[in-house]
Structure 1
């Protein structure tokens, strides 16, 4: 079964196209399930839209949910449309996000770490001038946040768990075994990780996470799912078949999909 659980649209300020266009692209691409999972607003911020190029306004949240639910009903004979959201994980205000997200009938929530020490993970400049020990500490802090997000119980899926390599490919070679610890935590918490194909648009030019991490994930019993992280309709289900093939080669037998916050597994 072909599906995609990670897509965005124009509300977030850095994607193109309406939700309807993503649904239509999914139908054209032969998908059985399309998940709409735009970036969560900054729910805990006093401003309605503090960064218009990163996420929708808080005042648009209800409209977003209503639109997806409306399209779910409209297209039910053609494709299953899932109501999702990619939520930032910000430990200090996680309780605010939890309360808001639990108030809506989501099919799933993706939890993503986008900021470490209030700096975006894709910021190339943050690595300048750091010695090896400082790089190790930064990488371990990133994975500590991922572990916290897994333990929070807020999320069904963890998004792009090595995306800090996106614009700094050397990230993968920073010597630490913290990823093993994180995968153990993710497995113990029974949270799914996604294979996210949007890394091709960054300096690293490949998927999140790496094959090495996926091999470790299989060893630790971590379940996986698929998300293109599409920011244009043409990217829906991008490289789905290649990912499926590679997962089989690694040794995975199935991957996860969701409905009403309940996981079910699909044979690869």
Structure 2
């Protein structure tokens, strides 16, 4: 069974193609199931669309859900279409996001930390004036936020948990946050959720996947489940490197990975 739970489309403002384009690409790639998981609006902001190039407008959210549900019916029997969303995690606004998501029949919600200390994790400049000690603290803070997101009970999947390395590959070499990373992996296991293996790192400066093999090995040690997401922002990347990820997981020692249907974990043997 082949699945991809992390795809975007044109509503977020930095992806190309319609939802249907991604579904058709999923069929072409031989997927059994495809999850549509575009970036959530900034629900706690007063403006309808404060960041047009980052996330969809609040006024588009219900239309987004309706379109996915319509296409789920249209393509039934050809591919299973799953309703998801990639949600930003803002600790002080979590109640607001939770109240919105409860209104809709999501198959799963991906929780992703895209900002720490008010700065994007993909901002290269955030590292330029930091001392080595400050870099360690930044890394610890990032993983504390991810741990907290895992403990909220809102997310079924944690997205790209070492994506801070995307445009700063040296992030992986910063030592001193190993305990915080282990805390994340324990939280994934304790809350019976899943860690995403995200192949979009291959499109960034760091190359490779999120997370690195060293983290996946620790995830296996703690009994954390994993899932797959291409994080496709163009239809041609749907299912990208799925077979390679499956083979690598087997080498590490994983026996299974999972996807979600109506927020229930579906186990797929490797």
Classify the TM-score, shorter chain: over 0.9
Shift of 1:34: 0.5
Aligned to 1:17: 17
Task: Say which SS state the counterpart of residue 237 (structure 1) adopts.
Answer: coil
The question of 1:100 aligning with 2:76 is answered: no
Unaligned runs of 5+ in 2: none
TM-score norm. by structure 2 comes to 0.98
Aligned to 2:183: 181
Partners of 2:244 and 2:44 in 1: CA distance: 39
Partners of 1:252 and 1:102 in 2: CA distance: 33
The number of equivalent residue pairs is 268
Alignment of 1:39-78 (within 5 A): 39-78=39-78
Q: CA RMSD in A?
A: 0.6
Shift of 1:93: 0.5
The question of 1:5 aligning with 2:5 is answered: yes
Task: Say which SS state the counterpart of residue 207 (structure 1) adopts.
Answer: coil
Q: Deviations over 1:39-89 (max 9, x none)?
A: 000011000010100000000000000000000000002110000000000
Q: Deviations over 1:95-128 (max 9, x none)?
A: 0000101110000000000000111000000001
Aligned to 2:248: 246
Partners of 2:54 and 2:237 in 1: CA distance: 19
Partners of 1:80 and 1:161 in 2: CA distance: 26
Partners of 2:89 and 2:83 in 1: CA distance: 19
Q: Does the aligned pair in 1 maintain the 2:188–2:225 contact within 8 Å?
A: no
Picking from 170, 189, 192, the partner of 1:190 is: 192
Aligned to 1:218: 220
